[in-house]
Structure 1
C-alpha cells in the first residue's frame, strides 16, 4: 500500500544534530546555533531508475522525473551535477543532540521560533510528494529512529495517516512541506544564487574540489558567503550581519572552550573547522567596514530592499 502513519512522541531521537535553518532563523537564534552552509551533491534521476528503501521499491517514470526536475528548477543549482545549498546549524557531532534540546530532552524553542524544517520532519522537501513513502520507509529503519516508533507502516488508530497512495494525506504535513519549499525558494532568490556564482569557479567547476563531495553527501563551509550576499544590500542588512557575526564569534569561543574541557579526540577536526569559521568572520567584519557605496549596496528598488530587510528580520514570516 505504501502507506505510513506518524505520531510524534517528543522523544527527541530525531533531534540528534542541528537542523537545516533559513538565514532569518539563524539570525533569530544567533546565540544558540552556529551557522554554516551545507553544499550537497544531489543524485540525478532518470526514467527507469529503481529507488529502494527497506522493502519498498519504485521504478521512476516520466512523471517522477518531471517532479524531480521541477524541484531542481526552483530549489537547487546545476553546474553539470545538481547541488543543494542550504544554511543550517552546526555543532560537534560527538554531542549527538540539537543545541535547542533542554535538559529534559524537550525542545527549548518549540514555542519560540522552532525552525520550519522541524515541522516538516519526517518528510523531505527535496523529494516529490508521490515518493515520500520511500523517505518514511528509510527513516523508519534508520538508527536515528529505532525505538521511537513514531513512523508506522500502514494506517493506525493511534497515529495520523501521513502517506497513502502516493499522496500526503495529513493537511498539516502538506502545509509545512509547502512552506518549507517556499522558504528554500526565497533563500535561493535572496542569497543562494549569489553564493552559487561566487563558488562556481573554485568549487562547482573544479573536479578536484568537487571530489570532496560524494554523491548524496555534503560539504560544510563558512556561512560568510551568504552574509556577504545580503550585507551589501543596505545599511540595515549590513548591521544585521555584523550583529550576527559578533554573536557567532562569542558562541564559537564558548563551544570550543567546552570541547577542550571534554578532551575528546574526535572533536579536534570540528574545533579546527570552527576556528576556520571564526577567521572567516573576522575577515568579513573587516570587509563590512567598507562604506556601502563602495560595496555596490542599495542599488535595488526601495521596495525590494525593504522586503529583504523584513525577510532577514523575520518580519515577513
Structure 2
C-alpha cells in the first residue's frame, strides 16, 4: 500500500472545535482569551514486533521504529513505570465545540498574533516518528471526513501539498513546524515539566487509584498552578509575571462562568464546577506568591533561562 498523503487546509475552522495544547508562554500571551490548565495523558511504550493500524494502513514496528519512539519519549515525556505526557492546554466548555480564538467567519482570530505552534503542526503528531506519520494521517483522514472536510487525501494531489511520502516528511513547512513543536515540548519539560512531575509523583503517578482518573485515550485536566509555581520561584520577575497571569485568569474564569450560567445547560455544570476549582487554586497560589519571601540565593542560570523563556509573552 502506498503510504503517501497530501494536505490542503482551506482554513474552514472545522477542526478548531476545542482549545489547543499551548506552551506556557503562549498561554501567557493569550491570557485574556484562553483559560490554562494542565493536561495529563498516558502514552504507551512501543516495542519491536508491535502492530500499529489506522484504517487500511498497518505497520509492524522494527527495532529502529521502537528506538525512535523511545527517543521521543525520553526527550519529551515523563516516566514512572508508565510513560506520561504533561502539557499546558487551553480549556473551555466542551458544549461550545469551538476554540476561543475562532471567529464567527470560521477563521482564526490569532493566526497572525501568536498562533500556537501546535496548530501549525496539524495534522501531524510530534510524538510519532517521522517515518510513521502516514499512520497519523490515515487515522486523521477518517476524522476529517467525519467533520465534513477532505483536507487530507491519500496519494499526491495537484491541488494539495504533498505532506508525507514513504516514510518521509516532504513539506519543508511541516518539517519546521514539527521541529519547533518538539523543541517547545522539550523546553517545557526543562522549565517546569520535571518539577511538576515530581510534585505529583506520589499523589498521582505512583497511585493506582489516582491513575484510574486518566481516561483511556484521553487526558486528565487539573489546575495549571503547579506549573506556575515551578517558574514563579525562578526570580522576582517571574513571580510578578505569574501574578499578572493569575489576575487575568481569575477575571476570565468569572466571565466564562457567567456566560455559562446564562446558557443554562445541564452539561455545563461539571465544567463550571471545575473552573471554580481552578479559580480557588489560583487564589491560593496568589496568596503564596504575594507573601513576603525570605531572602535566598537564586539559581541565576535557571532564572535567566526561565525569564528568557517567558519574556516573549510578558514584555
- Could you tell me the TM-score, scaled by structure 2's length? 0.97
Please tell me whether residue 261 in structure 1 is matched to residue 259 in structure 2.
no
CA distance in 2, matches of 1:100, 1:205: 37
The offset of 1:290, in angstroms, is 2.6
CA distance in 2, matches of 1:238, 1:283: 14
Q: What is the aligned partner in structure 1 of residue 306 from structure 2?
A: 308
Q: What is the aligned partner in structure 1 of residue 162 from structure 2?
A: 161
Q: Specify the SS of the correspondent of 2:90.
A: strand
CA distance in 1, matches of 2:133, 2:28: 30
RMSD across aligned positions (CA): 1.4
Change (3 A) 1:144 1:240: farther
CA deviations over 1:59-95 (Å, ceiling 9, x no partner): 1111111001000110000000000000010000010
CA distance in 2, matches of 1:126, 1:262: 37
CA distance in 2, matches of 1:198, 1:42: 20
Q: What is the aligned partner in structure 2 of residue 119 from structure 1?
A: 120
Unaligned runs of 5+ in 1: none
CA distance in 2, matches of 1:70, 1:211: 27
Q: What is the aligned partner in structure 2 of residue 210 from structure 1?
A: 211
Contact 1:13–1:145 (Cα < 8 Å) also in 2: no
Equivalent residue pairs, number: 313
Change (3 A) 1:67 1:96: same
CA distance in 2, matches of 1:315, 1:20: 16
Map 1:70-81; keep pairs closer than 5 Å.
70-81=71-82
CA distance in 1, matches of 2:62, 2:251: 50
Unaligned runs of 5+ in 2: none
The offset of 1:143, in angstroms, is 5.8
CA deviations over 1:179-238 (Å, ceiling 9, x no partner): 100000000000000000000000000000001113432100000000000101111100
Task: Tell which deviates more after alignment, 180-189 or 144-153.
Answer: 144-153
The offset of 1:286, in angstroms, is 0.7
